[in-house]
C-alpha cells in the first residue's frame, strides 16, 4: 500500500490526552509509511497554512502532557464560506489524503462543512472534557477533568467542614451535565444542579428546597454543605445563586468557579489509554479507506460512528446516576425528619 499524507489538527477546547492521541496517530502512521502534517492552532493553521511535519521524534515524551503540541483555538473564519474554501485549498495544495481532527462537536461540524467541498478522507476523534459527543461512552479528556475537579472539591470540603460552611462550586461542561453530575456524585455533594435535574422555570422552587435543606442540615454533626452547579444553567451563574441564598435566607456561601483548572494537567491512565486506542484505530480506519466517521469507544469496543450522528447531543447523563443521587438525598431528608 502506498503511504498517505495525513493532516492532523486539534480544535476547540483543549483536553488532556490530545497529545497522547497525536502521538498514537504519528507512531501508527509511521508503521504504514504514511506522512503526517500537523496544522497549528486548530482550523486557523489549515486556513493560514501554518503547519509542520510530524515524525516519531516529535511525539516522544508527550503522552503525559496536558494541552496540545499543535495548539488549539476557536476559528470563527470556519463559519464563513471563504474560510472553508481556504481550508480546502490548503488540503488540496499540500496533497493531503486524510484529515484527522481531534476535538468536540464544533470541530466535527467544521469537518462536515469541509466534506461538502473536499474529496479526501475525514476522520474525527472525540477530544473534549465535556463528554458531550454521541457514539462514544467517554471522550478523551473527560476522565482527567473529573478527577481534577474531584481533587479540588475534596479540598474545598475540608475547609468547608472546618468552618461549617456552605459552598457553591461551578463546573464546566458547556451545555452538558456530564462533568457536574459525575463530579457531584463522586464528591458526595449535598446538591447537584445540572441539566438533568433543573429547569430555569423551577428556579424559585429549587431555591426554596435548597434553603430548607441547608437549614435541616444545620442540625447534623457534619454541617458543611456543597452545591455543585453546572455552568450556563443558573441565570447569573454561581455568583447569582450565592447572592440569592444570602438575600432570601441570610445564608453565607463560599464561592468557587473552578474554570480552566479542569482543562489542564497530565492525563489520567484512562485518557492515555483511550487516546492511544482511538489514535491507532484512526490509522486503521484510514487504511481501510473510511471517511466521514468518528472513532469512539462503546462498552469497551472501538466503533465507527458517522460524524453527522456524533454531533447530535443525545447522550445524556445515565438515569441511574441521577436517581442514585436523588435516592441518597431522599434518605438524607428522612434522616433530618427523624432528628428534628
Ligand atoms: P469544540 O470542538 O470543542 O466543540 P467549538 O464549538 O468552539 O469547540 O468548535 C471549534 C471550532 O470548530 C470553531 O471555532 C470553528 O472553527 C469550527 N466550527 C464549529 N462549528 C462549525 C460549523 N458549524 N461549521 C464550520 N466550522 C465550525
Ligand atoms: O468545551 C470545553 C470547555 O472547557 C467548556 O467546558 C467550556 O464551556 C468552554 O470550553 C470554555 O471555553 P473557553 O476556554 O474558550 O473559555
Instruction: Say which of 14, 97, 130, 271 is annotated catalytic.
Output: 130
pLDDT for residue 223? 87
Residue 78, ligand 1, Cβ within 6 A: yes
Residue 79, ligand 1, Cβ within 6 A: yes
Q: Rounded to whole angstroms, how far apart are CA atoms 192 and 186?
A: 11
What sign results for the dihedral spanned by CA atoms 326, 262, 42, 275?
negative
> What's the gap in Å between 43 CA and the centre of ligand 1?
9
Residue 113, ligand 1, Cβ within 6 A: yes
* Residue closest to 24 by CA, chosen among 264, 265, 303, 284: 284
The CATH number of domain 5-141+267-310, selected from 3.40.50.450, 3.40.50.970, 3.40.50.300, 3.30.70.2190: 3.40.50.450
Q: Spell out the alpha helix ranges (H) of 121-221.
A: 142-163, 178-186, 203-217
> What's the gap in Å between 333 CA and the centre of ligand 1?
44
- Top mutation candidate among 10, 11, 12, 13 for ligand 2, by most atoms within 8 Å of CB: 13
Nearest CA to ligand 1 atom 8: 12
Nearest CA to ligand 2 atom 11: 13
Catalytic residue status for 130: yes
pLDDT in tens, 288-314: 999 999 999 999 999 999 999 999 999
Q: Give phi and psi for 15, each to the nearest 5.
A: -145, 140
Nearest CA to ligand 2 atom 4: 13
Same fold, 5-141+267-310 and 145-263: yes
The neighbouring-strand residues paired with 301 are 298
Residue 13, ligand 1, Cβ within 6 A: yes
- Measured CA to CA in angstroms, residue 121 lies from 8, 60, 116, 273 at distances of 12, 27, 12, 25
Percent of the chain's residues with pLDDT above 70: 96
Q: Which ligand is nearest to the CA of 145?
A: 2
pLDDT in tens, 133-175: 999 999 999 999 999 999 999 999 999 999 999 999 999 999 9
pLDDT for residue 330? 64
How much is the average pLDDT of 4-26?
A: 98
- All 3 cell numbers of residue 86? 481556504
Locate the domains of the chain by residue range. Answer: 5-141+267-310, 145-263
pLDDT in tens, 164-202: 999 999 999 999 999 999 999 999 999 999 999 999 888
Please provide the average confidence, as pLDDT, over all residues in the chain. 95
| Number of alpha helices (DSSP H) and beta strands (DSSP E) in the chain | 11, 11
Q: Rounded to whole angstroms, how far apart are CA atoms 33 and 244?
A: 61
- Measured CA to CA in angstroms, residue 116 lies from 85, 96, 133 at distances of 10, 16, 22
pLDDT in tens, 204-245: 999 999 999 999 887 777 789 999 999 999 999 999 999 999
At residue 339, does pLDDT exceed 80?
no
pLDDT in tens, 97-129: 999 999 999 999 999 999 999 999 999 999 999
Q: How confident is the model at residue 334 (pLDDT cuts 50, 70, 90)?
A: low
pTM: 0.96
Parallel, antiparallel or unpaired: strands 121-126 and 35-39: unpaired
pLDDT for residue 218? 78
pLDDT for residue 340? 43
Q: How confident is the model at residue 333 (pLDDT cuts 50, 70, 90)?
A: low
pLDDT for residue 335? 61
CB atoms under 10 Å from CB of 158, counted, come to 9
Atom of ligand 1 nearest to the CA of 43: 16
Question: Going along 163-288, which residue ranges are E strands?
Answer: 166-171, 191-193, 225-230, 253-257
Place of cell 442540625: 219
At residue 337, does pLDDT exceed 60?
no
> What's the gap in Å between 294 CA and the centre of ligand 1?
15
State the burial class of residue 170 (Cβ atoms within 10 Å of its Cβ: 0-12, 13-18, 19+). Answer: buried
> What's the gap in Å between 171 CA and the centre of ligand 1?
21
Report the top-level CATH class of 145-263. Answer: alpha beta
Nearest CA to ligand 2 atom 14: 13
Reduced to 3 states, what is the DSSP secondary structure of residue 117? coil
* Residue closest to 203 by CA, chosen among 152, 162, 240, 161: 240
Percent of the chain's residues with pLDDT above 90: 91
- Top mutation candidate among 78, 139, 315 for ligand 1, by most atoms within 8 Å of CB: 78
pLDDT in tens, 68-102: 999 999 999 999 999 999 999 999 999 999 999 99
Amino acid at each position: 500500500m502506498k503511504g498517505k499524507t495525513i493532516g492532523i489538527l486539534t480544535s476547540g477546547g483543549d483536553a488532556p490526552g490530545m497529545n497522547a492521541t497525536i502521538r498514537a496517530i504519528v507512531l501508527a502512521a509511521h508503521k504504514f509509511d504514511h506522512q503526517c502534517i500537523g496544522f497549528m492552532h486548530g482550523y486557523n493553521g489549515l486556513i493560514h497554512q501554518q503547519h509542520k511535519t510530524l515524525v516519531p521524534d516529535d511525539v516522544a515524551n508527550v503522552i503525559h502532557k496536558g494541552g496540545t503540541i499543535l495548539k488549539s483555538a476557536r476559528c470563527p473564519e470556519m463559519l464563513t464560506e471563504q474560510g472553508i474554501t481556504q481550508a480546502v485549498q490548503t488540503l488540496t495544495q499540500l496533497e493531503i489524503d486524510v484529515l484527522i481532527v481531534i476535538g468536540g462537536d464544533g470541530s466535527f461540524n467544521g469537518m462536515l462543512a469541509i466534506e461538502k467541498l473536499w474529496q479526501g478522507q475525514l476522520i474525527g476523534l472525540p477530544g473534549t472534557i465535556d463528554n458531550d459527543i454521541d457514539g462514544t461512552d467517554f471522550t478523551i479528556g473527560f476522565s482527567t477533568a473529573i478527577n481534577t475537579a474531584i481533587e479540588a472539591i475534596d479540598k474545598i470540603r475540608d475547609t468547608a467542614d472546618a468552618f461549617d460552611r456552605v459552598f457553591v462550586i461551578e463546573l464546566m461542561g458547556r451545555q452538558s451535565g456530564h462533568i457536574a453530575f459525575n463530579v457531584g456524585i463522586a464528591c458526595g455533594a449535598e446538591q447537584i444542579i445540572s441539566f438533568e435535574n433543573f429547569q430555569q422555570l423551577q428556579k424559585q422552587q429549587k431555591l426554596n428546597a435548597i434553603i430548607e435543606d441547608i437549614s435541616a442540615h444545620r442540625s447534623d454533626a457534619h454541617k458543611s454543605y456543597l452545591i455543585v452547579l453546572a455552568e450556563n444553567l443558573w441565570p447569573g451563574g454561581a455568583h447569582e445563586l450565592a447572592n440569592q441564598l444570602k438575600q432570601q435566607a441570610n445564608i453565607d456561601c463560599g464561592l468557587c468557579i473552578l474554570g480552566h483548572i479542569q482543562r489542564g494537567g497530565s492525563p489520567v491512565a484512562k485518557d492515555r489509554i483511550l487516546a492511544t486506542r482511538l489514535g491507532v484505530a484512526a490509522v486503521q480506519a484510514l487504511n481501510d479507506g473510511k471517511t466521514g466517521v468518528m472513532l469512539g469507544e462503546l462498552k469497551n469496543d472501538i466503533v465507527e460512528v458517522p460524524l453527522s450522528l456524533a454531533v447530535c447531543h443525545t447522550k445524556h447523563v445515565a438515569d441511574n446516576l441521577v436517581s442514585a443521587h436523588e435516592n441518597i438525598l431522599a434518605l438524607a431528608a428522612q434522616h433530618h425528619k427523624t432528628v428534628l
